[in-house]
């Protein structure tokens, strides 16, 4: 198996935060996720399935400005009405830091109380995605018309079922090293490259499941608060067995067994878990 199966997707994302209740309130009230599990040191939020795990870590230092880690976690909603509702919540309850037309998607950007980047977005139909002559997807950064999006809102106070984590975007210290891990060893495909500064990788033909960039000049591995781990969910047990087989001959991966799945850490110390659907 040279590449991960095309139907591989992102699963849960886990963040270490200083004040778990304060951050959970943000993801419930502003992003629109629903609390699915709660304990004093852990809150799990999602839609019809768990998407975000918040782990209380008040004793960990805040993430340093030179540390690798999360650039943003991207929640993908299933309709333009849901994206309009998200815009309404952000504008009334928080602060919007960006709104972008990426050609393949429409995206809203904000930052959570712990400084973690958040994207809420809607994919355009795949048939509308521009593709280059070499088969890679073409993405751009253009202003998003917010007036039309506000008109699409339906007034819902939470994201609908079908919302998931469409991708994670990482700030890394060495793009070539991260490419060797995520592409050469793990089996994601390069879908777009922006010079020597950014790489967008995916299973199959999606625009990206894992984004990688060196825009912020990070030079130290992840160690403080922020992204603890994220999941890639392969389609079935046979696919997971294929990953195990590849990992046995790929020293760069260093995969270990965990709860019926696999876990490792990328070159910047970010945890990665792989599993089949439960």
pLDDT digits (tens, 9 = 90+) for 108-156: 999 999 999 999 999 999 999 999 999 999 999 999 999 999 999 999 9
Q: How far apart are CA 98 and CA 143, in angstroms?
A: 9
Q: Answer for the pair 106, 121: CB distance below 8 angstroms, yes or no.
A: yes
- Using alpha carbons, select from 137, 104, 211 the residue that is nearest to residue 167: 211
Domain map (residue ranges) of the chain: 9-275
Biggest CA pair distance of the chain: 53
- Using alpha carbons, select from 190, 231, 209 the residue that is nearest to residue 74: 209
Of the options 3.10.180.10, 1.25.40.10, 3.90.45.10, 3.30.590.10, the CATH number for the domain spanning 9-275: 3.10.180.10
Q: Which residues pair with 170 in a beta bridge?
A: 70, 212
Q: Which secondary-structure segment (H or E) carries 192?
A: strand 189-194
What lies within 8 Å, CB to CB, of 186 at 6+ separation is: 4, 253, 272
Q: How far apart are CA 165 and CA 141, in angstroms?
A: 20
Q: How far apart are CA 243 and CA 151, in angstroms?
A: 45
What's the pLDDT score for residue 142? Answer: 97
Letter string b/e over residues 202-236, b meaning 16 or more CB atoms within 10 A of that residue's CB = bbeebbbbbbbbbeeebebbbeebbbbbbbbbbbe
Q: Answer for the pair 169, 118: CB distance below 8 angstroms, yes or no.
A: no
Instruction: Give, for all 278 residues of the chain, the pLDDT tens digit.
Output: 689 999 999 999 999 999 999 999 999 999 999 999 999 999 999 999 999 999 999 999 999 999 999 999 999 999 999 999 999 999 999 999 999 999 999 999 999 999 999 999 999 999 999 999 999 999 999 999 999 999 999 999 999 999 999 999 999 999 999 999 999 999 999 999 999 999 999 999 999 999 999 999 999 999 999 999 999 999 999 999 988 887 766 667 788 899 999 999 999 999 999 999 98
pTM for the model stands at: 0.97
Q: How far apart are CA 275 and CA 231, in angstroms?
A: 7
């Amino acid at each position: 198996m040279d590449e991960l199966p095309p139907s591989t997707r992102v699963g849960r994302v886990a963040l270490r935060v200083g004040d778990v209740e304060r951050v959970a309130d943000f993801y419930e009230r502003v992003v629109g996720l629903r609390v699915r599990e709660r304990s004093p040191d852990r809150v799990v939020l999602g839609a019809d399935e768990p998407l975000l795990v918040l782990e209380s870590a008040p004793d960990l230092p805040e993430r340093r400005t030179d540390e690798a880690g999360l650039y943003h976690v991207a929640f993908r909603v299933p309709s333009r009405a849901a994206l309009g509702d998200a815009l309404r919540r952000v504008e009334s309850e928080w602060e919007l830091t960006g709104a972008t037309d990426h050609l393949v998607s429409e995206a809203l950007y904000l930052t959570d109380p712990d400084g973690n980047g958040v994207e809420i977005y809607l994919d355009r139909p795949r048939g509308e995605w521009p593709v280059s002559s070499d088969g890679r997807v073409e993405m751009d950064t253009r202003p998003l018309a917010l007036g039309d999006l506000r008109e699409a809102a339906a007034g819902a106070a939470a994201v609908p079922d079908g919302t998931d984590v469409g991708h994670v975007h990482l700030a890394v210290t060495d793009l070539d090293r991260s490419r060797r891990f995520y592409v050469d060893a793990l089996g994601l495909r390069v879908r777009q490259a922006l010079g020597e500064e950014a790489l967008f990788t995916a299973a199959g033909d999606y625009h990206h499941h894992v984004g990688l960039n060196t825009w912020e000049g990070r030079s130290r591995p992840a160690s403080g608060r922020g992204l603890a781990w994220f999941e890639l969910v392969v389609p079935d047990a046979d696919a997971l067995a294929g990953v195990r087989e590849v990992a046995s001959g790929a020293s760069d991966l260093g995969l270990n067994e965990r709860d019926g799945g696999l876990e490792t850490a990328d070159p910047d110390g970010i945890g990665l878990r792989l599993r089949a659907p439960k």
